[in-house]
Amino acid sequence: QVQLVESGGGSVQAGGSLTLSCAASGDKFLRSCTAWFRQAPGKEREAVAAIYAVGGDTYYADSVKGRFTISQDNARNTGYLQMNSLKPEDSAMYYCAAEAFCNEGNWRKPSYLAWGLGTQVTVSS
């Protein structure tokens, strides 16, 4: 089993920054891929970024490229999402997810093995 706990959300003005954390426990193989999704009220869950521990490949949604950075600290079993130049449209509940494998072809699919409960990000204009 894999357990995920997000933290770091909050309220920030447009142009500001936040760093989300995802503390993971459980089978390391089953969480080789860590992803972040977000969901705003009335909208579908959207894939934001993912990182595959084997090789360190990273993937980003076009809407966050150049502004968000996903990383992984394997020693601390923690994943991070550094979010810069935040926009009001980034406001959403952000979820951490884990799976054994991901690549360019499948990282956006919301079929991950494990999910956290989410952390709220609110960006005001």
State how far Cα 12 lies from the chain centre: 18
Strand 92-99 to 33-39 pairing? antiparallel
Q: How confident is the model at residue 54 (pLDDT cuts 50, 70, 90)?
A: confident
> What letter represents residue 43's amino acid?
K
pLDDT of residue 104: 95
Contact between 21 and 6 under an 8 Å Cβ cutoff? The reply is yes
Q: Which tokens hold the place of 87?
A: 């926009």
pLDDT of residue 45: 96
pLDDT reading at 3 higher than 90: yes
pLDDT digit string (tens) for 85-106? Answer: 999 999 999 999 999 999 999 9
As a whole number of angstroms, the distance between CA 88 and CA 78 comes to: 27
Residue with tokens 């009335």: 42
